[in-house]
Amino acid sequence: MLEIEQKKDNGKIVLKLKGEASIENAEKIHKSFLQFINNNETLLLDLDEVEKVDISFLQILAALCKTLNEKKGEILFLTSLPKPLEEALIISGYFRYKHCIFDHGKSCWINEMIRSTEGG
Amino acid sequence: MEISDPRDYYIEEASELLSEIEARIVDLEKSPEDYELLNTVFRALHTIKGSGSMFGYDEIASFTHEVETVFDYLRDGKLLINKKIIDSTLMACDHISVLLKNPQNADKELQEKLVASFRELMSKVQEYAPHTAEPTPPLAEKTQEEPRKTYRIEFKPGREIFLRGIKILPLLNELSDLGEALIIANSDELPNLEDLNPEHCYTTWTAILTTSSGINAIKDVFIFVEDYSRIKIDVIDEGDVLGTEDDYKKIGEILSERGYMNVEEINKIISKKKLFGEMAVEQGIVTPDKVESALAEQKYVREMRKRRNEVQTGSTIRVKNEKLDYLVDLVGELVTLQARLSGYANKDGEAELLNISETLEGLTSELRETTMSIRMVPLTETFRSFFRLVRDLSHELGKNVELVTYGAETELDKNVIDMLKDPLVHIIRNSVDHGIEHSKDRAALGKPEKGTITQGAAYSGANVLIEISDDGRVLDPEKIRKKGEEKGLIKSGSEIGEHELFNLIFEPGFSTSEKATGISGRGVGMDVVRKNIERLRGTVEVASEKNRGTTITIRLPLTLSIIDGLLLEVGDGKYIVNLSDVVECFELTGDLLGISDNNSIANIRGEAVPFINLRTLFSQQDASEGNMQLVVVNTEDQKTGIAVDRVLGQTQIVIKPLSIAFRNVEEVSGSTILGDGSIALILDVNKITQKAREEKTSRIAK
């Protein structure tokens, strides 16, 4: 079960995901992200109520970040790192980007998430 | 049967494992001490859970996790196998079988009941053992089947693996559970969002795993995905070679070994004399992900080797007890000789001799501490043996009793542990026999049917505290008073606090039990327990409170033989107090005696500290010249003073037993030979404190 809510906040698009961000809903998530990548906009993601995460979701997030970076768009995370996502990042080995030796800058979506977490 | 869906494999394998668990559980009922049986059940549950999670059988995975946790505690000795666990596990097997084959028929109520009963077991262990709440070590840490090796596992799942219902995260989790693991996700094949098929897997993984589980255990993790993935497992560190250098392969070697680069490309980059990884990425030979992954492997293995070499440098050897005892004796002699030399050097005053004496004093002190630390062993084995004792006793008495332990890692001198066992056995026997009630009686009192005995240990300064408590019936103060009066231990109608009253149970011949049983109460009473504990220079106390149960607290010194002491002088006599008990020393001037009515309470910075004058205590008639010195000691968070003629200074001493003449002097616990050959008596600070407090109380009462 996954709900995707879309709203505007100060002119920016906010996408809130609630429920299971897993393979069963991968297509739905993919489609909703695709709507925004051509707008050269800042996309605000709220993942606070995500309850379940699997590799398919990590891949979608990574691909979204890669694409927005190429299109000079931006992805910002509104909330702190939710527990299921943090666990998935650790187990899957995606978390190594936190200590990435290359300067991914804004293209490193995990660093972005950690920044938003640390920033409150 | 032709199997096409990997989930069918899972159902088949899980069913076989359930049959194995059932057979082993029945064996365990007959041989509850068989560790290998416990291990087999645990591993089978672990596989059912791990693979269940991998194939999306989340309910089976989470339910099995509850059972598995119980077996992990059993393996660690934190729980003792009992009929309830056996029955619940067999019911859990039936339930898992239904969840596997017929989930729509699963009895949810039964599932909740079983989970609640497993959690209840866990909560008891956690409640009583706050110090053991460390994360469970991975499976491989406990099995130790093969030499520890480090593997590089390259896992490239097929693109459509998600569509087969296979979940990767539980698989990676299971791999990590095999030992120490570094998982690296490589996402360089990941396309842009527009080209991404969200149901395809683009990520590949490199895992660096250090484990003693062996290559077959690693292969088992991938058993259900091997037909749809590329899996390559290489040993990159043998792990059992002594003196292996900390260093590890260069990045180029790792990339070449993994097949990302050839020798020609490597040489081309080396000739540029720049950072290899950066150059390889710059020239488009490998992706940043691949270099990062190789760097992670390099860092992991280098750190692992460094750690291993440190451990190997300090690896262990077995030494006979007698040799250790002899070593301690020799160190004792050396300490005495060093004290003699120190005394002589101070008298002689020759600079070079003083220098040599001081250097030898430092070395002797270090040698003493090292030797003592060799004799320190954890209480684990001692505590573990009581599980069997409680089980047998409770069966014999038809009671339902559980033993919970904490702090078993606390270390004590081996000789102390050896001498401690009998008193502990007696206390635990008493708890099972006289403390814990029968289930029926407990139920009538509104208590849980199963009684709990908790045994724990913790450090407290230079002492170790051992507590044995039970939630059985509490001590009856009236009964104890009556018995105490009958035995002449207290005067009839005398005012005595509950603490002192309860501690009458340690007096010789005291027993409130109306009938002796085969288990305890056969003449060997708590007085023997106290005598044995005091022989170890320890103390024992009891506290009992309605609704909280009874707790016996044993306080023991960390070591038996050599201590740092403070040398005191009173008249012609010399005395020692353990330096770790000393808080401060003062000259006993009129200011300090300001609030004292008869020179027995000192005013230390506004605090009334009772003190004992050793001159009075040891009947030294002639008065000392000048002011006396006050040594303030701290026991059980209370300060007490000891007034002496002079404080002579710090010294290392070897504790010797008391001669018969002093055996009845409660305030003295041992003796020692000083450097000049004279004898000093070691003061029992606990007894002196007790005496000072009693005198203070009686004065206040007057």
Query: Which range has the worst mean pLDDT, B41-50, B195-204, B273-282, B577-586?
Result: B273-282
Higher pLDDT among residues B512 and B37, named by residue: B37
Confidence of residue A39 (pLDDT cuts 50, 70, 90): low
Partner B contacted by A54 (CB < 8 A): yes
Three-state SS annotation for B199-221? CCCCCEEEEEEEECCCHHHHHHH
Domain total of chain A: 1
Asked if B196 and A63 come within 8 Å (Cβ–Cβ), the reply is yes
d(CA B699, CA B696): 5
Q: Is B159 on the interface with A (CB under 8 A)?
A: no
Q: Which residue of A has its CA nearest to B201?
A: A56
From chain A, pick out residues whose CB is under 8 angstroms from the CB of B288. Answer: 102
Is B290 within 8 Å of B187 (Cβ atoms)? Answer: no
The rounded mean pLDDT for chain B is 81
Interface test with A, best of B152, B183, B193 (most A CBs within 10 A): B193
- Strands A42-53 and A12-21: what pairing? parallel
Cβ neighbours of residue B134 under 8 Å, at least 6 residues apart?
Answer: none
- Of B94, B48, B52, nearest in space to B71 by CA: B48
Q: Mean pLDDT over residues B226-250, rounded? A: 73
| Secondary structure class of B113 (helix, strand, coil) | helix
pTM of the model: 0.45
Euclidean distance between CA atoms A50 and A37, whole angstroms: 22
Count of pairs with CB atoms under 8 A, one residue in A, one in B? 88
Residues in B closer than 8 angstroms to A29, CB to CB, are 198
Closest partner residue to B169 (CB to CB) among A67, A70, A91 is: A91
Nearest by CB to A100, from B172, B192, B292: name it: B292
| A26: confidence class by pLDDT, cuts 50, 70, 90 | very high
pLDDT tier, A21 (very low <50, low <70, confident <90, very high otherwise):
very high
Give the gap in angstroms from C-alpha A64 to the nearest C-alpha of chain B: 5
**For residues B552 and B544, what is the distance between their CA atoms, to the nearest angstrom?**
9
Q: Which distant-in-sequence residues (6+ apart) come within 8 Å of B427 by Cβ?
A: B468, B526, B529, B552
User: B203 CB contacts (<8 Å, ≥6 apart)?
Assistant: A55, A58, A59, A92, B157, B185, B186, B187, B189, B190
Instruction: Label residue A40 by pLDDT band (50, 70, 90).
Output: low
Of A50-59, A99-108, B36-45, B181-190, the range with the lowest mean pLDDT is A99-108
Q: Decide if pLDDT at B19 tops 60.
A: yes
Q: For residue B508, is pLDDT > 80?
A: no
With beta carbons less than 8 A apart as the criterion, state whether B77 and B384 touch: yes
Contact flag A55-B203 (C-beta cutoff 8 Å) = yes
> What pLDDT does B520 receive?
43
Q: Which of A78-92, B161-175, B220-234, B341-355 has the lowest mean pLDDT?
A: A78-92
Partner residues linked to B529 by β-bridges: none
Q: What is the rounded average pLDDT of the residues B201-206?
A: 93
Q: Residue B175: list chain A partners with CB under 8 A.
A: none
In the predicted structure, residue B697 carries a pLDDT above the cut 70: no
Confidence of residue B631 (pLDDT cuts 50, 70, 90): very high
Judge: B192–A67 Cβ closer than 8 Å, yes or no: yes
**Three-state SS at B446:** coil
Which chain A residues are closer than 8 Å to B183 by Cβ?
91-93
Q: Does residue B630 register a pLDDT over 70?
A: yes
Q: Which of chain B's residues have a Cβ under 8 Å away from the Cβ of A27?
A: 198-199
Domains of chain B: 6-133 (1.20.120.160), 142-313 (3.30.70.1110), 321-375 (1.10.287), 377-557 (3.30.565.10), 562-701 (2.30.30.40)
The verdict on B184 touching A (C-beta cutoff 8 Å) is yes
Per-residue pLDDT tens for B427-475?
999 899 888 999 999 999 888 899 999 999 988 766 789 999 999 988 8
CB burial of residue B104 (10 Å; 0-12, 13-18, 19+): exposed
DSSP B656: B
Residue B373 pLDDT > 50:
yes
Q: How far is A2 from chain B (nearest CA, A)?
A: 15
Rg (C-alpha) for chain A, rounded Å, is 13
- pLDDT for B573 beyond 60: yes
d(CA B386, CA B300): 42
Residues of chain A with Cβ-Cβ distance to B182 below 8 Å are 93
Q: What is the pLDDT of residues B72-123, one digit of tens each?
A: 888 877 788 888 888 889 899 999 999 998 888 889 999 999 999 888 887 7
Of A26, A54, A66, the CB nearest to B190: A66
CA distance B175 to chain A (A): 10
B13, B51 contact by CB (below 8 A): yes
Please give the average per-residue pLDDT across B368-385, as a whole number.
82
> Given pLDDT bands bounded at 50, 70 and 90, which one contains residue B135?
very low
Asked if B292 and A96 come within 8 Å (Cβ–Cβ), the reply is yes
**B292 to chain A: which residues are within 8 Å by CB?**
96, 100-102
Distance CA B49, CA B170 (A): 9
Q: Find the range with the poorest average confidence among B508-522, B595-609, B674-688.
A: B508-522
Q: For residues B248 and B498, which has the higher predicted lDDT (pLDDT)?
A: B498
| A64 vs B: CB within 8 A | yes
Say yes or no: B168 contacts chain A, CB-CB below 8 A. yes
Q: What is the pLDDT of residues B251-308, one digit of tens each?
A: 778 888 888 877 777 777 776 666 777 777 777 888 877 887 888 888 888 877 777 6
The stretches of B406-550 forming alpha helices (DSSP H) are 414-430, 439-444, 477-486, 498-502, 526-535
Tokens read off for B605? 């910075």
In this predicted structure, which of B144-148, B386-390, B510-514 has the lowest mean pLDDT?
B510-514
Range 7-46 of A in CB contact (< 8 A) with B:
23, 26-27, 29-30, 33-34, 37
Task: Report CB contact under 8 Å: A91, B187.
Answer: no
Residue B582, both tokens: 């000393």
Contacts of A33 in chain B (CB under 8 A): 193
Residues 292 through 331 of chain B touching chain A, CB cutoff 8 Å: 292, 295-296
Task: Indicate yes or no: CB of A59 within 8 angstroms of CB of B202.
Answer: yes
Check CB contact under 8 Å for B193 and A67: yes
Neighbouring-strand partners of residue B180: B210
Range of the domain at A83: 2-118
Q: Span B168-174, mean pLDDT?
A: 91
- Cβ distance of B199 and A26 shorter than 8 Å: yes
Interface test with B, best of A35, A90, A101 (most B CBs within 10 A): A101
**A34, A58, A88 member nearest B194 (Cβ):** A34
Question: B640 burial class (0-12, 13-18, 19+ CB within 10 angstroms)?
Answer: buried
Mean pLDDT value across residues B549-570: 85
Q: Which of A55, A57, A61, A97 to mutate to test the interface with B (most CBs of B within 10 A)?
A: A55
Angle of helix B321-348 relative to helix B414-430, nearest 10 degrees, comes to 120
* Residue B102, pLDDT score: 86
Mean pLDDT of the B558-570 span = 82
Integer CA distances (angstroms), A23 to A56, B161, B327, B360, B407, in order: 6, 11, 67, 72, 45
The answer to whether the CB atoms of B192 and A70 lie below 8 A apart is yes
**Inter-chain CB proximity A63 and B192 less than 8 Å:** yes
CA distance B452 to B645: 51
CATH number at residue A11: 3.30.750.24
